[in-house]
Amino acid sequence: MSEELLDDILDNENTEEESGELYEHIRIVVDKGQAQERIDTFLTNHIQNISRNRIQNAAKAGNILVNDKAVKQNYKVKPNDVISIVFSYPPREIDITPQEIPLNIVYEDDDIIVINKQAGLVVHPGHGNFEGTLLHGLAWHFQQTKQPVENKFGYLVHRIDKDTTGLMIVAKNETAQAILAHQFFEHTIHRRYHALVWGDFNENEGTIEGNIGRSPNDRRKMMVYPNGDHGKEAITHWHVLERFGYVTLNEYRLETGRTHQIRVHSQFIGHPLFNDATYGGDQILKGTTFSKYRQFIDNCFKLLPRHALHAKELGFVHPTTKKEMLFTSELPEDMTAVLEKWRRYDKTEIAGN
């Protein structure tokens, strides 16, 4: 893996990655003149900066397919074979000093740890965020509890951004990381988010499709390329949970995990997230011009000084036991407080009419 790609991963974290999935998919068509060779040897020789150990872990996880069938590491490559391999990103060699950071751990065993992340917590170090991250807190936790882990801060499988709250999973060994990466690649991970967005909807549910890539004008932002000429495929399903007239509480289900996916797709259809400064949701986009209403919105922004997005449900198959696991997280206090304000405001408006 190139240094440029690894740098881009860290850049994503600092521009706030929403459910960013940490894997790479590589497809290779074997040359007609290729002699038979073990696939782990073949891949080591054909992919830069990939260790044999990572290839073997990928094989154990069922992440190496030849002609659409999973193979073991001793499979002999043949001419014209089509190889598809999913690699989880290795931990970058970064200096992590354990820091005592409060973590809401909802589940932990020898292979995984599930965390209900608070707002304002960056997942891992990057440009401008060299301490106080989730990984620093995990290093402290593993050090204090002497939990079995192959490195001192765990193996990331995905991320949620700094100001998004809710559930995420971290692997504690490379094998678990590889197996979970395969589930993300196959879109079998169950992920549901709740978000408060501007505006009302004519329908009760829908699907947003449109490639997502970086904005050419601002690297910190993403944008939708509806013609598919740039970016990567992104699919978001939504349905209405509660209507307040000027804003709506929606549930979102992700098929893909692109940078800022829910936030960008919501802006694309004209419903940016409430108080999302990056994508225009920190302005009054719907409602009246009365000063009383403007004060109401300002008070909401003060209660919720971030975009209104929460990773509410996370489901997956355990990498070792193979049991299906599902976790649910209640909305944080700041989102709950704003929703209660909207419920009271909505009733007041109805009574006034």
Q: Is the pLDDT of residue 346 over 70?
A: no
Instruction: Write down the catalytic residue from 161, 163, 282, 334.
Output: 161
256-313: pLDDT as tens digits: 888 899 999 999 999 999 999 999 999 999 999 899 999 999 999 999 999 999 999 9
- Provide the pLDDT for residue 8: 42
pLDDT of residue 126: 73
Q: Which of 15-19, 55-59, 89-93, 137-141 has the highest mean pLDDT?
A: 137-141
Encoded amino acid at 326, one letter: L
- Which class does domain 23-88 fall in? alpha beta
Q: Would you say the C-alpha torsion 269, 18, 180, 319 has a positive or negative sign? A: negative
Provide the 3-class DSSP secondary structure of residue 11: helix
The answer to whether 82 and 32 have CB atoms below 8 angstroms apart is no
**Predicted pLDDT of residue 19:** 40
Say what the pLDDT of residue 308 is.
Answer: 98
Specify whether the CB–CB gap between 94 and 125 falls below 8 A.
Answer: yes
What tens digit of pLDDT does each residue of 169-218 get? 999 998 899 999 889 888 899 999 999 999 999 999 999 999 999 999 88
Quick count: other Cβ atoms within 10 Å of Cβ 152?
15
- How does residue 350 score in pLDDT terms, banded at 50, 70 and 90? very low
Model confidence pLDDT, tens digit, residues 256-271: 888 899 999 999 999 9
CATH 3.10.290.10 placement within the chain:
23-88
- pLDDT over 70 (residue 90): no
Residue 109 among the catalytic residues: no
Q: Tell me the per-residue pLDDT of 137-158, one tens digit each, with 9 for 90 and over.
A: 999 999 998 877 888 889 898 9
Residue 21: pLDDT band (50, 70, 90) is low
Q: What is the pLDDT of residue 92?
A: 59
pLDDT band at 9 (very low <50, low <70, confident <90, very high): very low
244: how many CB neighbours lie within 10 A of its CB?
17
pLDDT at 186: 86
Please give the pLDDT value at position 252. Answer: 98
Q: How confident is the model at residue 341 (pLDDT cuts 50, 70, 90)?
A: very high
Comparing 86 with 134, the larger pLDDT belongs to: 134
For 187, phi then psi, to 5°, come to 60, 35
Task: State residue 127's pLDDT score.
Answer: 67
Half-sphere exposure of 335 (CA within 13 A, CB side): 27
Is the pLDDT at 1 greater than 80, yes or no? no
pLDDT at residue number 278: 96
What tokens does 112 get? 């995984």
Using N-to-C axis directions, what is the helix angle for 291-303 and 333-352, rounded to 10°?
A: 160
- 215-229 pLDDT tens trace: 998 888 999 999 988
pLDDT score recorded for residue 31: 93
Two tokens at 98? Answer: 């354990």
Q: Which helix (H) or strand (E) holds 296?
A: helix 291-303
- What's the Cα-to-Cα distance from 178 to each of 85, 89, 158, 214, 342, rounded to whole Å? 11, 9, 12, 27, 43
Range 56-80 average pLDDT: 91
What's the CATH number of domain 191-311+333-352, 3.40.50.360, 3.30.70.340, 3.30.2350.10, 3.30.450.20? Answer: 3.30.2350.10
Phi, psi of 345 (to 5 degrees): -65, -40
| Residues 6 or more apart whose Cβ sits within 8 Å of residue 60 | 73, 175, 178, 179
Q: Where in the chain is the domain with CATH 3.30.2350.10?
A: 191-311+333-352
First to last CA, the chain: 61
pLDDT by residue (tens digit) across 96-124?
Answer: 899 999 999 999 999 999 999 999 999 98
